[in-house]
């Protein structure tokens, strides 16, 4: 029997992607879809591509309505999930796509987000060792951020195998504009974005920094320090991340590939590409896949890992459904695809 899925924040890009995937899911049926300022508005007025939802309207964001569903997906701005969750039934499965419950350190939350720390849930990156079991046993899961997903998947096995050093990790990653949300700002206007790339939140101040450090430190057992520089790319969706770290003495590309292969050979949504083939955002468009490639550079003494994901799918809605599948006891891949859309 299908479970009912409710979505809070359904008018955003991640919310729209959730609805697209949920409609095609064999084990979930779409229940109430809430969207603050769009209450009463037809879903297709905001998401015209969701034609199958014609006649359905956004409802007010309230725990009473959302809590009637079996599973609730929260696609709300950071800092808004905590209050709502406290009013939901304890037996309701909840996946939070925001950052509210990702961090274990309340001081890090205060520094990077501000306000009161809501707490810590199971971190929903199934490909990490032990995570799949923890997710399946939980009723509350914190979905990882879009940037952290590809970065962590690429570096975690190398830190666990002591192939790279933890104290000098540098990441430069480019995201499509949908990663900034649907809010109207001058920097996201078409005239500003087209034919231009721009860095933002430079100097270790991006809010995903502590999340990346937290997960990578857990993977390797030592405290990881990350310098993370994001940039905005002139495309609607996708993330290409280039992560480098100081290599352990004598590490070769073959050893790096062997570690990544061993970690992900049986993973349905992580693909280590053949040597010489590099990830592109176009290849993962619309899929729940992570594409990886890596190389050890003897000249600089560093290892480089390049990862590509669709920020709205594996970086948000697809991963949320992957987690919900595990929580509900469904096949992990149900309703999802590792095949991209081209051209």
Tell me the catalytic residues. 146
**Burial of 195 per CB tally in 10 Å (0-12, 13-18, 19+):** exposed
Distance separating alpha carbons of residues 230 and 147, to the nearest angstrom: 9
| Range list of H helices, 137-233 | 146-160, 190-193, 209-220
The closest alpha carbon to 245, from 272, 212, 270, 278, belongs to 212
CA dihedral 127, 266, 23, 99 (to 10 degrees): 10
CA atoms within 13 A on the CB side of 140: 16
> Residues 127, 153, 265, 340: what is their CA dihedral angle, to the nearest 10 degrees?
100
What residue has token string 């997903």?
Answer: 149
* 243 φψ region: left (φ > 0), alpha (ψ -120 to 50), beta (else): beta
Cβ(50)–Cβ(19) under 8 Å? yes
Report which of 208, 225, 244, 209 is spatially closest to residue 166, judged by C-alpha positions. Answer: 225
Of 83, 75, 197, nearest to 145 by C-alpha is 75
Report whether 241 contacts 151 (CB < 8 A): yes
Could you tell me if 53 and 11 are in contact, meaning their C-beta atoms sit under 8 angstroms apart?
A: no
Q: CA–CA distance from 330 to each of 21, 101, 195, 327 (Å)?
A: 15, 24, 43, 8
CA-CA distance, 205 to 56, in Å (whole number)? Answer: 40
């Amino acid at each position: 029997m299908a479970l009912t899925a409710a979505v809070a924040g359904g008018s955003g890009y991640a919310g729209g992607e959730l609805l697209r995937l949920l409609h095609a899911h064999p084990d979930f049926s779409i229940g109430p879809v809430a969207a603050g300022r769009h209450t009463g508005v037809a879903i297709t007025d905001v998401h015209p591509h969701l034609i199958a939802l014609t006649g359905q309207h956004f409802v007010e964001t309230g725990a009473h309505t959302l809590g009637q569903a079996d599973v609730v997906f929260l696609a709300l701005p950071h800092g808004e999930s905590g209050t709502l969750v406290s009013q939901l039934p304890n037996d309701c499965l909840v996946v939070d796509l925001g950052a509210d419950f990702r961090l274990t350190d309340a001081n890090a939350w205060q520094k990077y987000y501000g306000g009161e720390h809501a707490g810590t849930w199971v971190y929903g990156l199934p490909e990490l060792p032990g995570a799949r079991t923890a997710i399946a046993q939980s009723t509350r899961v914190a979905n990882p951020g879009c940037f952290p997903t590809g970065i962590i998947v690429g570096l975690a096995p190398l830190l666990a195998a002591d192939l790279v050093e933890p104290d000098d990790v540098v990441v430069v990653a480019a995201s499509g504009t949908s990663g900034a949300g649907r809010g109207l700002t001058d920097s996201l206007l078409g005239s500003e974005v087209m034919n231009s790339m721009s860095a933002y939140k430079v100097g270790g101040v991006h809010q995903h920094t502590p999340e990346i450090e937290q997960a990578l430190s857990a993977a390797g057992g030592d405290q990881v320090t990350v310098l993370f520089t994001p940039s905005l790319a002139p495309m609607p969706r996708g993330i290409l991340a280039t992560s480098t770290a100081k290599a352990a003495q004598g590490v070769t590309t073959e050893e790096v590939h062997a570690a990544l292969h061993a970690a992900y050979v049986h993973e349905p949504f992580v693909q280590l590409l053949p040597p010489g083939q590099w990830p592109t955002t176009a290849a993962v468009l619309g899929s729940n896949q992570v594409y990886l490639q890596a190389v050890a550079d003897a000249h600089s003494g560093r290892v480089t890992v390049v990862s590509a994901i669709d920020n709205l799918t594996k970086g948000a809605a697809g991963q949320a459904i992957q987690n919900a599948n595990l929580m509900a006891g469904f096949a992990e891949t149900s309703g999802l695809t590792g095949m991209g859309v081209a051209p």
